Amino acid sequence: MHDDLPDARDGLTRKERVVQWVLSRAQVERKGRGVRAAMIYGRVLEHVEMSIEELMHIIERLSERPMPLLTRSQQSRYRSDP
């Protein structure tokens, strides 16, 4: 499948985009409070298949990005399913 191919626009793979989307939705639901990896993992598995190790690697990689994961204008675009 094409889950591991980076998008030309921003370099994110489909799996990374799903993790980013799930994380942003969970943060909104929890009103900015911390979100546990177990909560994210269960929700991510509803969309793509990956191991816990792969999820943690993606979270680590996304947290090292110099820009925020989503700007406010992007958040409104990602309110629907990925």
Domain ranges of the chain: 14-77
- The confidence score (pLDDT) of residue 49 equals 93
Q: Give the residue among 62, 73, 72 at the shortest CA–CA distance from 16.
A: 62
**CB atoms < 10 A from the CB of 58, how many?**
22
- Mind listing the pLDDT tens digit for each residue in 29-56? 888 777 888 889 999 999 999 999 999 9
Furthest C-alpha separation in the chain: 34
Contacts of 12 (CB under 8 A, 6+ apart): 6, 20
Angle 14-29/37-44 helices, nearest 10 degrees? 120
Q: Which residue has the higher pLDDT, 21 or 79?
A: 21
Distance CA 62, CA 69 (A): 7
pLDDT in tens, 1-20: 566 777 677 778 889 999 98
Nearest CA to 10 out of 48, 54, 61, 56 is that of: 61
- pLDDT at residue 37 in the model: 82
